[in-house]
Amino acid sequence: MKKQDAIDAVKKVREISPKRKFTQSVELMVNFTGLDMKKPQNQVFVKVDLPFSTGKGSGKILVFAKSDEFVNGLKDKVNKIIEEKDLEAISKDKMKVAEIMTYDGIFAEGPVMLSVARFLGQQLAPKGKMPKPIINLLSFDEVLARAKTQITVTNKKGKFMPVVQAVVGKETMKDEEIAANILAVYDVVMNSLPQKKQNVKNAYVKLSMGPTVKVGDQ
């Protein structure tokens, strides 16, 4: 996929999409071909570091913490903090466990890792949601900045489908920024496929409530 093709598609989407009273997201859809979705190697579940933050829909960060220093140091920096003392109760609440699964970045203060594994390991590990350890708050700031522009892209919608869909921007962003995000998602998804580009049928972009526009010839 060429960057200019992505820019042209974004421009076309803006031209043909009806105006709304709210800021719409820009979405990318990549359709697959020649893949048996029942085979694990064809099931897409990837993390993508976007060059530009999309705002809504990305970078939800959760931290498991123990010490008051960590809790106080992370306030207003992350979306949710779960303290070690609450882990056992949460592990017995299916709704709260399901909520944890919705976060893009999951981290834990070092001493809490064992408790997370004990109470939530069986639920989080199979989904690839076990937290990454935080060594100290200073080094975590850089990790946090990167995590806030990271999104998860998967073709699982109840069952695995021959298509992925991801939010790559919002209409208030510049065309070049959205295009850069489109390329980032496309490249990671394409390279995760067994036959790379040969398994990509086509790609489209659209606004939340607008028609689709094909992106070049990929």
The continuous run of DSSP H or E covering 121 comes out as helix 113-124
184 compared with 216, residue with greater pLDDT? 184
Q: Where are the beta strands (DSSP E) in the chain?
A: 25-32, 45-49, 61-65, 80-83, 105-109, 132-134, 150-154, 156-157, 159-160, 163-170, 200-207, 213-214
User: What pLDDT was estimated at residue 142?
Assistant: 76
Q: What is the mean pLDDT of the chain?
A: 90
User: What pLDDT was estimated at residue 53?
Assistant: 83
30-49 pLDDT tens trace: 999 999 999 988 999 898 98
What's the rounded mean pLDDT across residues 112-139? 90
Q: Is the pLDDT of residue 153 over 50?
A: yes
With H, G, I as helix, E, B as strand and everything else as coil, classify residue 123. helix
What's the rounded mean pLDDT across residues 122-135? 89
Strand order of the β-sheet with 163-170 is 163-170, 25-32, 200-207, 213-214
62-93 pLDDT tens trace: 999 998 888 888 888 888 999 999 999 999 99
User: What pLDDT was estimated at residue 77?
Assistant: 85
User: What pLDDT was estimated at residue 74?
Assistant: 87
User: What pLDDT was estimated at residue 59?
Assistant: 63
Q: Is the pLDDT of residue 1 over 70?
A: yes
Q: What percentage of the chain reaches a pLDDT higher than 70? A: 96
- Look at the pTM and tell me if it is higher than 0.75: no
CA dist., res. 17 & res. 42, Å (int): 33
90-115 pLDDT tens trace: 999 999 999 999 887 899 999 999 99
Polymer length of the chain: 218
> For the chain, which domains are there?
3-56+150-214 (3.30.190.20), 61-147 (3.40.50.790)
Q: Is the pLDDT of residue 57 over 50?
A: no
52 compared with 57, residue with greater pLDDT? 52
10-34 pLDDT tens trace: 999 999 999 999 999 999 999 999 9
The continuous run of DSSP H or E covering 60 comes out as none
User: What pLDDT was estimated at residue 115?
Assistant: 97
User: What pLDDT was estimated at residue 218?
Assistant: 56
